[in-house]
Amino acid sequence: MARALDLAASSTSTSTVALIDFLDNLSDVTNQLPTALSLIAPEELTAMYTAAFAGMEAQGNRFLKRANEMARGLPRFVHQRVQSLPDGQRRSRATAG
């Protein structure tokens, strides 16, 4: 952890700079530093990534469900559209397919 913080101190990344600023501005370093470091421990980082991936997976599943619903309804939609065409267009489309 200490080596990573040393590398972060010279970084120009906005998130890294924000982290260093947060740690620099602790009012009581002796008591607050362990708590602050526990917030960025690997377990918490893993939980954040897991939650983010779970959200993306849920969104992907919703998309796939909706795509499947649309695919199931497509033949009915096409049939309704063909039936709504005037007779002449219906025959020409039937022979073209």
Q: List the domain boundaries for the chain.
A: 1-40, 51-97
90 vs 80: CA distance, rounded Å: 12
90 vs 1: CA distance, rounded Å: 72
Q: Which amino acid is at 76?
A: R
16 vs 20: CA distance, rounded Å: 6
Tens of pLDDT, residue by residue over 2-53, are 777 677 777 777 877 887 788 888 888 777 878 877 777 777 667 767 777 8
How far is the CA of 31 from the CAs of 7, 10, 22, 26, 62, in angstroms? 24, 25, 15, 9, 45
Tens of pLDDT, residue by residue over 52-73, are 788 888 999 999 999 998 888 8
Question: What per-residue confidence (pLDDT) applies to 44?
Answer: 67
Question: What per-residue confidence (pLDDT) applies to 63?
Answer: 93
pTM: 0.38
